[in-house]
Chain A
Amino acid sequence: MADLAIRNLVKQYDKTEVLHGISLDVEDGEFVVFVGPSGCGKSTTLRLIAGLEDATGGEIAIGGRVVNNLEPKDRDIAMVFQNYAIYPHMTVRKNIGFGLRTAKMSKADKDARIDEVAGILGMTDLLARKPSQLSGGQRQRVAIGRAMVRDPAVFLFDEPLSNLDAQLRTQMRLEIKKLHQRVGNTIIFVTHDQVEAMTMADRIVIMKDGHIQQVGTPAEVYHRPANTFVARFIGAPSMNMLSGMVENGELRMASGATLDLGAGLPEGREITIGVRPEDLHPGDGPALVRGPVTVREPLGHETLIYVGAEGQEVIAKADGRTPPQVGEEVTLTAAVDTLHIFDAATGDALR
């Protein structure tokens, strides 16, 4: 086990810079999830940590040792790939034991280690099988087993659940989390699925266009997003963004309503107000949004309603038993302390 430190990491392909000097400290035994849309640089960062690509600038240290110039095999890491990368011509035993080929261990010790890992993953009965005889979830377990068998300082997971169906993905998510609690190794996990990030991570690193947008616990990034990108990316359905202006110390909404948000907001500045659908509901408070219901999505215990206002569709949650009808004019309100305030120009959170 070891900590991981990234300092001003830069990656260029020809003249295109895809990582713009990111820095991050991962503590020993921490489960950190990199999340972001396609092309944000999360997988590139992982590949740089693994040593599969060379960094253009900056430093990567594992366990206090700078590894920039080390081969992947010398970095004390193991990686689980999106497509599992388990070899179809080898049995499960050989696949799991593959990482031990170059280890200086006796065959008996290697076999014992493979059996131990297979036992942890519940695959003891499958050791003689070929990958083609395994289900998707079992193949994923073999890939994890191959990473585990070497007991690396850092585990790297590159979107390992994206090829699984929804049910299996939930199950494997749980298993990986349990595994982490059991073995306690440092894990860097890359995904584009914010639900995976929220449910598994000790800390989430949200990336966009080669920059880290925010690093924080799932609760922090959800409740205190650093900017509008993070606010929209984390949470489903996405946070609603409404526009307003600070006038005479009060926030004037496009709907005409005014909100007293207390002191500290810059006078005359255009503001973006973020409000999560679960905090926005039909009611009698200050009208954040007023408009007709365009679509209803009943979920049983509650109903999502889409309300047309300010040239966009605002999503709110209504009671599941007596939701407003489509076409009905509604007024949506939210408690002031649930609102997120962003600078409209920069998108950065103001409070």
Chain B
Amino acid sequence: MIAAEIRPTTDALLKTQAPKKPANMGQILRWMLLFLGGIAMVMPIAYMVSTSLKWPHEVYNLKLIPDEPHIENYTYVLEDGRFYWWFVNSMIIAVITTVCNVIFDSLVGYTLCKFRFPGRYIVFIAILSTLMIPTEMLVIPWYLMSQQFGWLDTYWGIMFPGLMTAFGTFLMKQFFETVPDDFIEAARIDGLNELQIWWTVAMPLVKPALAALAIFVFLGNWTAFIWPLIVTNSVEMYTLPVGLSSFGDEADVAWELIMTGAAISTIPTLIVFLIFQRYIIQGVVMAGLKG
């Protein structure tokens, strides 16, 4: 009788173990895809660093390891006074734009999420619909506006189109949905005004979203090219990507110097990511738990 009882259990175990092989194949396939994806991500960075260590005549040689690696390019770029200007310009623009986005996007997102007022839905749809307008289409109106306001070749001119974004507003609105209304109402009963509630109760609860938004906005502005190129005239007002593209002359592009500048310019983005990544991971974990 005991054997009879054990047998079905063993059979059941065998059955559950049987499909293990195809699962392993699937796993191998997944790892391979991830590996290929990883290579695709890392290769441009590897070539950027590699090119920055090459002499001009080696640039079009696609070897990953330079024949004669050297750091002359770094010395040249760092000794070029313009690089510091561009770096500072980019930093000022990226930081101010990031701070503004974090504040304004979350303020609008919070309002659209937690307040009931007539036309709320229409306002939200109107904001979202701006995501469908390509930047290229907006560049001319922005330029004309900058010209009329006297913002050409100024920080304000570079920054104003990105101080608030529809994407950021949407992102923050969705995250504020996860803040229970009870929290807001409890604070309201405790005597806080709406701005205080937003700042002291709601904002700390959406830190992962704020971190993600900060990274997106910082990276977007740090690497922005077309608009800063159009709105700036003087070399001193260039941002880093615009400035780097000007390395070289009309006959030849100095790729080794551009890559050197690009390699240096990735450092702040790495720092930003390292500062905020724990919030992003926390956000992913929270989203995973809820799902």
Binding site for B on A (CB under 8 A): 50-52, 71-73, 77-79, 81-85, 87-89, 98-99, 101-103, 146, 150
A73 touches B190 (CB 8 A): yes
Q: Are A85 and B183 in contact (CB under 8 A)?
A: yes
In the complex, how many residue pairs between chain A and chain B have their CB atoms under 8 Å apart? 54
Complex partner residue of B185 from A84, A85, A87, A103, CB under 8 angstroms: A85
A sample of 25 inter-chain contacts (CB < 8 A) reads A50-B189, A52-B185, A52-B189, A71-B188, A72-B188, A73-B188, A73-B189, A73-B190, A73-B192, A79-B186, A79-B189, A83-B180, A83-B182, A85-B180, A85-B183, A85-B186, A87-B201, A89-B204, A89-B205, A99-B191, A101-B190, A102-B190, A102-B191, A103-B191, A150-B190
B198: shortest Cβ distance to chain A, in Å? 13
B187 contacts chain A at the CB level, 8 A cutoff: yes
Interface residues of chain B, those whose CB is within 8 Å of chain A, are 180, 182-183, 185-192, 201, 204-205
List of A residues within 8 angstroms of B192 by Cβ? 73, 101-102
Which B residues touch A81, using CB under 8 A?
182, 185-186
Give the top 3 A-B pairs by smallest Cβ distance, nearest first: A73-B191, A102-B191, A85-B186
Given contacts A87-B201, A89-B205, contact A99 B182 (CB under 8 A): no
Residues of A near B180 (CB, < 8 A) are 83, 85
> Please, which residue of chain B has its CB at the minimum distance from the CB of A98?
B190
**Can you name the residue of chain A whose Cβ is closest to the Cβ of B190?**
A99
Residue of B nearest to A156 (CB): B189
Task: Tell me which residues across on chain B come within 8 A of A77, comparing CB atoms.
Answer: 189
Q: Which residues of B contact A150 (CB under 8 A)?
A: 190
Bound: A47/B191 CA distance, A? 16
Distance from B121 Cβ to chain A, minimum over Cβ atoms (Å): 15
The docked-state distance in angstroms from the alpha carbon of A52 to that of B185 is: 7
CB distance A52 to B188 under 8 Å? yes
Bound form: Cα–Cα A73–B189 in Å: 5
Q: Which of B186, B188, B191, B192 gathers the greatest number of chain A CB atoms within 10 Å?
A: B186
| Docked CA distance A83–B184 (Å) | 12
**B188 proximity list for chain A (CB < 8 A):** 52, 71-73
15 new A-B contacts at CB < 8 Å, known A85-B185, A98-B190, A103-B191: A50-B189, A72-B185, A72-B188, A73-B188, A77-B189, A78-B190, A81-B182, A81-B186, A85-B182, A87-B205, A99-B190, A99-B191, A101-B192, A146-B186, A150-B190
Q: Measured between alpha carbons, how far is A73 from B192 in the docked complex, in Å?
A: 8
Contacts of A98 in B (CB 8 A): 187, 190
